[in-house]
């Protein structure tokens, strides 16, 4: 496949902190590259460099001539007071297009993104729909190469499925920074991990995320075996040197030089050994109460819409309840109701006496970004109190992969994943009977996610989890509660059972059937002229032919070659409107002829 972009020798630092050095990377047509790495490894920075948003400290980047790129950042911003249509239109305002082609491209893009009303103001959209709008803003430019930074953040399950289908079937190449493991497995055909621990700063494998994990395990095992063999050999050489080997002969000098080389190689391997992950361990109280929360016939409405009605369940120690539903179905509302922040419209919530609840807020409002990391971690003076024991703040910071040199930096300088780790660190200091976790996985790297999963499965209290990370949901939850946002709620064994039930319950598209004359009613053709009778007899076939033509035009409109061709797309729209008008006229004429026979 033809190469779209290549880079060599990329190096980037922030202050005294080196993110990556001498990276080399190439992206070809048809590639869907997944980029992973630890928080702070420089994934977002590398993506911005590749997208031309910022410059590297050194290195070169080559882009194939006339390659069009798009970039969807992790943090989204839209102009105030702009509608969805205006924002997408502004993205192609500099392109020389006629009005028909421009309108056709905008409408097609918004339709692909799921927008039914393009007059909505961007600031009124939910986080998930803002994410769709940001993606649509880049799609309308018809990129050859699209860069996306954590694109599944704030998307609900329907939105993630939409994005998976979009990228998997796209004609353009893409580079995606994501920690959603199922998403990566479903979308990418190439994987790369950026980490200074790898020999070249990056480890890349062609294939799915699952295949990448297999190859990574093989590499690390080979490296560990090499490290062990090298360590044994170095110990032998060190013993030889200690016995007083003299460098008087050429052979002895060569062996001394070889021992030095082996020591340097071993030190390099040891420096690249897998790093420890954040140590997450939520503290439970010693409560022995069997019933922590009893919810009886809860109902709640917002904005005139019933989110859930007559909802009844009990949380006991060991219960790990996952909440499922599309954005706006009431998952966060239910968490706030359980915490006591809001009250139900009807029904009761009975909490155990002195129940201790820890609430992870997806907006992270508990964090003051103007504070230093030291205070953000919950330190009073130089220590924090964890499980009744004082721990020096430097040791506490190290537990969450921060070094002591960062303690006096403002938290606003931290990445999104690092801020999430700070909030988890604060919450761990609070003993809890019940954990209420609202999207705790946003921005967390995969090693931290794995540790978080282990901690949550071992937590002896109860927890209620809202997350769009399907992998974490499968590992952690013992049961899931599906909310439909229209008052309905039902328990399921896991995410996949809920997903299949949702598909089964979805309204099936109803094909407009051609009306047929009643068999019991004799065709009273005496009121029809000869030509009208012939027309009436042929009407069913004509309507069927017109509907088949309409379906063919719709299929043509959604083909990749037409979607990317403005004039052809506009021609399809014109023919589709004509086909709709023809079908409408045929049905009207059918009704007219039918009435004459009554």
pLDDT digits (tens, 9 = 90+) for 141-182: 999 999 999 999 888 888 999 999 999 999 999 999 999 989
Q: Is residue 82 part of a domain?
A: yes
Q: Among 82-96, 138-152, 198-212, 254-268, whose mean pLDDT is lowest?
A: 254-268
Is a pLDDT exceeding 60 seen at residue 3? yes
Residues 382 and 531 in one domain: no
Residues 139 and 33 in one domain: yes
Q: Is residue 88 part of a domain?
A: yes
Q: Please state the φ and ψ torsions of residue 357, each to the nearest 5 degrees.
A: -115, 135
- Angle at 242 (CA atoms; ends 236, 245), nearest 5 degrees: 95
Of 419, 374, 417, 421, give the one whose Cα is nearest residue 395.
Answer: 374
Give CA 163 to chain center in angstroms. Answer: 9
Is a pLDDT exceeding 70 seen at residue 569? no
DSSP conformational letter for 459: -
Average pLDDT, the chain: 82
Average pLDDT over residues 493-507: 76
Categorize the per-residue pLDDT at 513 as very low, low, confident or very high, splitting at 50, 70 and 90: very low
CB of 369 closer than 8 Å to CB of 415: no
Average pLDDT over residues 574-591: 74
Q: What DSSP line would sit under 100-114, residue for residue? A: HHHHHHHHHHHHHTT
Is a pLDDT exceeding 80 seen at residue 504? no
Residues 122 and 84 in one domain: yes
Q: Among 147-161, 396-410, 571-585, whose mean pLDDT is lowest?
A: 571-585
Q: Residue 17: its pLDDT value, please?
A: 78
Categorize the per-residue pLDDT at 503 as very low, low, confident or very high, splitting at 50, 70 and 90: low
Residues 199 and 220 in one domain: no
- What CATH number is given to the structural domain containing 559? 1.10.287
Residues 556 and 458 in one domain: no
Q: Is residue 485 part of a domain?
A: yes
Number of folded domains that form the chain = 4
Residues 17 and 61 in one domain: yes
Q: Residue 183: its pLDDT value, please?
A: 93
Residue with the larger pLDDT of the pair 368 and 558 = 368
Tens-digit pLDDT profile for residues 88-116 = 999 999 988 888 888 889 998 998 898 98
Q: Is residue 518 part of a domain?
A: no
Q: Residue 382: its pLDDT value, please?
A: 83
Residues 8 and 40 in one domain: yes
Q: What DSSP line would sit under 191-216, residue for residue? A: EEEE-TTSTTSEEEEES-HHHHHHHH
Distance CA 213, CA 418 (A): 24
Distance CA 566, CA 24 (A): 36
Q: Is residue 239 part of a domain?
A: yes
Quote the pTM value.
Answer: 0.70
Tens-digit pLDDT profile for residues 14-63 = 877 788 989 999 999 999 999 998 887 889 999 999 999 999 999 999 99
Residue with the larger pLDDT of the pair 237 and 381 = 381
Q: Which of 276-290, 486-500, 523-537 has maximum average pLDDT?
A: 486-500
Tens-digit pLDDT profile for residues 421-448 = 888 888 888 888 999 999 888 778 888 8
Q: Residue 516: its pLDDT value, please?
A: 42
Residues 136 and 151 in one domain: yes
Categorize the per-residue pLDDT at 519 as very low, low, confident or very high, splitting at 50, 70 and 90: very low
Residues 499 and 544 in one domain: no
Residues 265 and 327 in one domain: no
Q: Is residue 481 part of a domain?
A: yes
Domain limits at 457?
Answer: 293-505
Average pLDDT over residues 55-82: 92
Could you identify the residue written with the tokens 């004082």? 390
Q: Please state the φ and ψ torsions of residue 425, each to the nearest 5 degrees.
A: -60, -40
Residues 576 and 473 in one domain: no
CA dist 136 → 44, 84, 105, 551 (Å):
20, 10, 11, 25
CB of 201 closer than 8 Å to CB of 195: yes
Residues 199 and 90 in one domain: yes
Distance CA 115, CA 508 (A): 21
Residue with the larger pLDDT of the pair 481 and 378 = 481
């Amino acid at each position: 496949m033809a190469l779209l972009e290549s880079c060599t020798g990329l190096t980037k630092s922030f202050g005294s902190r080196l993110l990556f050095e001498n990276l080399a990377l190439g992206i070809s047509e048809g590639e869907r590259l997944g980029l992973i790495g630890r928080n702070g490894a420089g994934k977002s920075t590398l993506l911005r460099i590749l997208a031309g948003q910022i410059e590297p400290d050194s290195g070169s980047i080559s882009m194939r001539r006339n390659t069009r790129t798009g970039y969807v950042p992790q943090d989204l911003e839209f102009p105030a007071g702009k509608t969805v249509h205006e924002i997408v239109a502004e993205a192609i305002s500099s392109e020389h297009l006629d009005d028909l082609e421009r309108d056709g491209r905008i409408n097609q893009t918004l339709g692909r993104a799921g927008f039914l009303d393009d007059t909505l103001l961007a600031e009124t959209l939910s986080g998930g729909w803002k994410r769709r709008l940001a993606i649509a803003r880049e799609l309308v430019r018809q990129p050859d190469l699209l860069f996306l930074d954590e694109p599944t953040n704030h998307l609900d399950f329907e939105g993630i499925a939409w994005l998976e289908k979009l990228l998997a079937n796209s004609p353009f190449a893409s580079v995606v920074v994501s920690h959603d493991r199922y998403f990566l497995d479903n979308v990418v055909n190439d994987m790369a991990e950026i980490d200074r621990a790898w020999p070249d700063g990056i480890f890349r494998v062609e294939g799915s995320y699952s295949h990448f994990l297999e190859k990574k395990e093989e590499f690390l095992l080979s490296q560990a075996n090499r490290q062990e063999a090298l360590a044994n050999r170095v110990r032998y050489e060190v013993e030889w040197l200690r016995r007083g080997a003299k460098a008087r002969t050429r052979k002895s000098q060569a062996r001394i030089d070889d021992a030095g080389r082996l020591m340097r190689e071993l030190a390099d391997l040891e420096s690249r050994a897998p790093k420890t992950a954040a140590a997450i361990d939520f503290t439970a109280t010693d409560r022995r109460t069997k019933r922590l929360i009893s919810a009886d016939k809860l109902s709640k409405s917002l904005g005139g819409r019933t989110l859930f009605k007559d909802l009844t369940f009990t949380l006991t120690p060991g219960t790990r309840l996952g909440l499922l539903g599309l954005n706006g179905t009431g998952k966060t509302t239910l968490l706030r109701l359980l915490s006591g922040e809001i009250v139900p419209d009807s029904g009761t919530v009975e909490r155990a006496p002195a129940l201790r609840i820890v609430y992870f807020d997806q907006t992270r409002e508990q964090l003051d970004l103007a504070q230093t990391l030291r205070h953000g971690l919950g330190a009073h003076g130089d220590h924090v109190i964890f499980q009744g024991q004082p721990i020096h703040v430097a040791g506490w910071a190290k537990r969450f992969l921060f070094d002591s040199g960062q303690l006096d930096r403002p938290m606003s300088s931290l990445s999104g994943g690092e801020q999430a780790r700070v909030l988890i660190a604060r919450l761990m200091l609070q003993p809890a009977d019940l954990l209420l976790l609202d999207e705790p996985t946003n921005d967390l790297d995969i090693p931290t996610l794995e540790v978080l999963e282990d901690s949550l499965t071992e937590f002896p209290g109860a927890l209620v989890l809202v997350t769009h990370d399907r992998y974490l949901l499968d590992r952690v939850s013992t049961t899931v509660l599906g909310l439909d946002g229209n008052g309905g709620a039902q328990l399921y064994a896991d995410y996949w059972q809920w997903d299949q039930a949702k598909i089964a319950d979805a309204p099936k598209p109803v094909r407009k059937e051609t009306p047929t004359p009643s068999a019991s009613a004799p065709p009273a053709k005496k009121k029809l002229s000869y030509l009208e009778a012939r027309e009436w007899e042929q009407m069913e076939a004509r309507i069927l032919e017109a509907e088949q033509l309409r379906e063919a035009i719709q299929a043509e409109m959604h083909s990749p070659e037409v979607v990317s061709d403005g004039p052809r797309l506009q021609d399809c729209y014109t023919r589709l409107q004509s086909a709709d008008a023809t079908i409408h006229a045929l049905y009207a004429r059918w009704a007219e002829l039918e009435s004459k026979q009554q």
